[in-house]
Amino acid sequence: MEEIDIQSLIKNENYQGIINALNHDDTKIRNKVEDSFMEVTNFALIDNLIQALSNKDKKIRRFVARVLGECNDSRAIVPLIEALNDTDECVVDYAASSLGGLKSKKAVNPLINTLNHNYWAARTSAAASLGLIADSKAIDSLIKLLSDKVDDVKYYSEEALLNFDDKKAIDALEKYYDDQTPVHLKKVAKSFRSFKQSDPINMLTKYLNDENDEVRKYTANNLVGLRDERATEFLINSLKDSFLDVQIYASNALGNIGTQEAIEPLINNLHNKNVNIRKWAVRGLGHAREGLPTKDMFDLLNDDDAHVRSVAITALSDTGTIYQKQNIDLLLKNTNNSSEYVKYGVIAGLREIGDKRAIKPLIELLNDENIGVRGSASAALGDFGEDAIDPLARIFENKDNFAKKRLLRAAAEALNYFENPKVIDLLIKTLSVKDAYVRKRIALALGKFKEKKVKRALKACLSDENIQVQKAAKKSLNRLR
């Protein structure tokens, strides 16, 4: 089968073309079509979609079952209810999920019946939809599903029951949580579940002094999401806890609180001699958003400990610090960092900032020993457009580079990301490189441009000595028809 432009089918509202593509030989094409269901909802073809729910092809029934859930049209309710009896379990799953979005009381009983379906995903979707509809008739059945053998089903049943302001549902969930909690954590877990913002914080922080390590750990961990400034002093004390996990969660909780008082102890410990303390200090700052010690955090990218470097780049990413223009110099200093993980973060930052000074170090990273780093640098260079064309051209012009296979291939990958027609001459010239992989990637890159000289170059590639280059050229020519 020929390659299909899915976006073109969507733009032209070619419903039949999309339906036909569901059976394309290419898995990637089929996946793209299946992911287009949201766009198809805008085609205003409700009657066609409903009719397709009875199609003999299960792929079509699956697709339209998803589309109908996004149409917000009451005419789809009854057909979707009928689809809950489909012989294909995936159709049942999608139909159950779609009925939740339509929120019709008509679907309650059929969805309750679907809670007994053999397919776990269908039970999950039915539970989720019953939670959205929130009809009390479903409570007993959802409570029973809390004992399902599949964790996902139990999770969505729990989430569904949370939507009911009903004593039976509340009591059932309380028992469920209690049954799931180890004996030594039951008391502290119940305190967190019943805690209200108006309650004294000591109701929770008292557990930070419990003699049981796991109780203190549970408390510190659950204080992370609470973000209650009243816990600051108690969490700072927990940074000295004898149990490392308590220290880690306490630092995360302080970072999440984010006040200067809360993050000051973390800042003060960034250069602590103890590697574990440095780790939790920078990890905690990764939860903060203001008052960050940017330079000190960047310094940790060159820490002696690999884990500290990894945690530091994650914290700089989570806080958005590596994406800020004022930090470009700090990023440029780390393009040759010894950690591959740090390099990934640095490249992401340079790509987002888009400063031309990043082109040269990114070019150098095309020869990095790690294939993932080379790939990231290639993609980043593509974002620089015209400014990166000449630097890339010099790679292929320099005879000293001819033996550097990974550099040439990474440069060819970079050229694949360019949309600017000014790159065409370089692409055609690069077709003369001896490396077949380079020629193949260039042939594919040319498939984006409709100029006559491009077609001539691609036709010449049909006689290339390498069959993969020939196939790439043929694929690009098909795209240009």
How far apart CA 395 and CA 59 sit, in angstroms, is 48
Kindly state the tokens that stand for 223: 């204080």
Q: What's the pLDDT at 95?
A: 97
466 within domain boundaries: yes
Nearest alpha carbon to residue 281 among 333, 293, 290: 293
Is residue 287 within 8 Å of residue 256, measured between CB atoms?
Answer: yes
CATH number reported for the structural domain that contains residue 451 in this entry: 1.25.10.10
Residue 428: inside a domain: yes
**What's the pLDDT at 120?**
97
> According to the model, what pLDDT value does residue 295 have?
95
DSSP for 76-131, written as a single string:
GHHHHHHHTT-SSHHHHHHHHHHHHHHT-GGGHHHHHHHTT-SSHHHHHHHHHHHH
pLDDT at res. 399 = 84
Tell me, yes or no, whether 242 lies in a domain. Answer: no
Write out the DSSP string of 380-401: HHHHTGGGGHHHHHHHHH-GGG
DSSP labels, 164-207:
---HHHHHHHHHHHHHHS-GGGHHHHHHHHH--TTS-THHHHGG
Q: Which secondary-structure segment (H or E) carries 309?
A: helix 306-318
For the chain, list residues with pLDDT below 70.
1-3
In a domain, 465, yes or no: yes
Total of domains in the chain: 1
pTM equals 0.75
Residue 449 lies in a domain: yes
- pLDDT at residue 2 in the model: 56
Q: Considering the domain boundaries, does residue 125 fall inside one?
A: no
Q: What is the pLDDT of residue 9?
A: 81
Residue 465: give the domain boundaries. Answer: 419-481
Please indicate, yes or no, if residue 472 is contained in any of the structural domains: yes
What pLDDT score was predicted for residue 31? 84
Q: Could you tell me the CA-to-CA distances from 86 to 95, 203, 268 in Å, in that order?
A: 9, 52, 63
For residue 305 the two structure tokens come to 């400990």
In a domain, residue 315? The reply is no
Query: How confident is the model at residue 157, as a pLDDT?
Result: 97
Q: CA 449: distance to chain centroid?
A: 31
Tokens at residue 283, please? 């990890």
pLDDT at 22: 85
